[in-house]
Amino acid sequence: MGILPMAVHHPNALGQSGHEAATTGFADDTAIPDWAKGAVATLSKRGIIEGKGGNQFAPGDQATRAETIRVLLNMLRNRQ
């Protein structure tokens, strides 16, 4: 799964919409589509996604197994 679809689906699993337009704080914020920025910002703010080196989100990249597991573990730790 790509990083972007994973980021968009996870706020829904936490009971949050994540659809609000926002800036994400990532250096490549302009590469993140507007429809995904709210979800990316929500997950980043809650510490669920961290991005890659150089403060890059890399929205076109595929998520590695390690990245996927990290996101899932962070979701479990941050449930509210």
Q: What is the mean pLDDT of residues 59-78?
A: 90
User: What is the tens place of the pLDDT at every residue in 13-65?
Assistant: 555 555 566 789 999 999 999 988 988 998 899 899 988 899 999 999 998 99
The rounded distance, in Å, linking the Cα atoms of 3 and 62 is 6
Residue 5 has pLDDT above 70, yes or no: no
User: The pTM is what?
Assistant: 0.74
Residue 25: the pLDDT is 92
Longest dimension (CA), the chain: 30
Answer with the residue of higher pLDDT: 49 or 80.
49
| Helix, strand or coil, per DSSP, at residue 1 | coil
